[in-house]
Amino acid sequence: MFAVITDGSHQYRVSPGDELTIDYRKGSEPGQTIEFDRVLLANGGGSSAIGQPVIDGPTVTAEVVETEVKGPKLEIQKIRRRKNSRRHTGPRQKYTSIKVTDISVPGPEIIETPEEEPEATPEPVSQPLKKKRLKKKRLKKKRLKKKRLKKKRLKKKQLKKKQRRRSFGRRRG
């Protein structure tokens, strides 16, 4: 079973037991429960519910693990050229770490069923056909290359003849 929830301007795909970091919640304490009522999608077993944009009724409950978790440092560097002046600063965003405990969907129970994998059936492999096709493609490529080279040579010869004609036919003066 999983659900897609929104918190602030972020969307998260969560399932029971997942740990994730959300935007900092001021005043939250470890062990406190948080409810997310903006559920965009709920899926479990064979049935799913998709909201437009939000589903009415289902909630996701989570428990606060840590209140202040610092994110990665955003590096800001300011350099003035030819002045030997550099500043290196950077803030670290605060986050709240939570653990999803339950996804409750009202209405018919969504029971999670293990997905059965279909039995693998061996398919006949036609390798000789592939080899023939590859050989044909290679031969075609070689022929094209030879034709292109011949055309290039002819073009060069023709250009030289034209240049000779032009240079002899003109008078300067």
Asked if the structure places residue 13 within a domain, the reply is yes
Asked if the structure places residue 48 within a domain, the reply is yes
What is the pTM (predicted TM-score) of this model?
0.56
Q: Which domain holds residue 160?
A: 137-173
Asked if the structure places residue 114 within a domain, the reply is no
How, if at all, do strands 39-44 and 47-55 pair? antiparallel
DSSP characters over 140-164: HHHHHHHHHHHHHHHHHHHHHHHHH
Domain boundary among 61, 89, 104: 104
Q: Do 70 and 142 belong together in one domain?
A: no
Q: Are 42 and 110 in contact (CB under 8 A)?
A: yes
Nearest to 3 by CA among 52, 38, 39: 39
Q: Using one digit for the tens of pLDDT, what is the confidence trace for 114-160?
A: 667 777 777 766 555 555 555 566 666 666 666 666 666 666 667 76
Q: DSSP state, 17?
A: T
Asked if the structure places residue 123 within a domain, the reply is no
Q: Reply yes or no on whether the pLDDT at 30 is more than 90.
A: yes
pLDDT of residue 48: 84
Asked if the structure places residue 82 within a domain, the reply is yes
Work out how many domains the chain is built from and give that number. 2
Sign of CA dihedral 149, 152, 156, 162: positive
Phi then psi for residue 97, to 5 deg, are -95, 130
Q: How far apart are the first and last CA of the chain?
A: 92
Asked if the structure places residue 124 within a domain, the reply is no
Long-range contacts of 160-167 (CB under 8 A, 24+ apart): none
Residue type at 47 in one-letter notation? S
Q: Do 100 and 144 belong together in one domain?
A: no
- pLDDT band of residue 98 (cuts 50, 70, 90) is very high
Residue type at 130 in one-letter notation? K
Q: Using one digit for the tens of pLDDT, what is the confidence trace for 37-92?
A: 999 999 876 778 888 899 988 899 999 999 999 999 999 999 999 898 988 899 99
Asked if the structure places residue 120 within a domain, the reply is no
Q: Do 97 and 12 belong together in one domain?
A: yes
- Is cis: bond before 108, omega within 30 of 0? no
Whole-angstrom Cα distance, residue 34 to residue 5?
13
Whole-angstrom Cα distance, residue 88 to residue 169?
71
Q: Do 87 and 161 belong together in one domain?
A: no
Q: Do 18 and 95 belong together in one domain?
A: yes
Q: Do 154 and 98 belong together in one domain?
A: no
Asked if the structure places residue 128 within a domain, the reply is no
Rg for the chain (alpha carbons), in Å?
Answer: 34
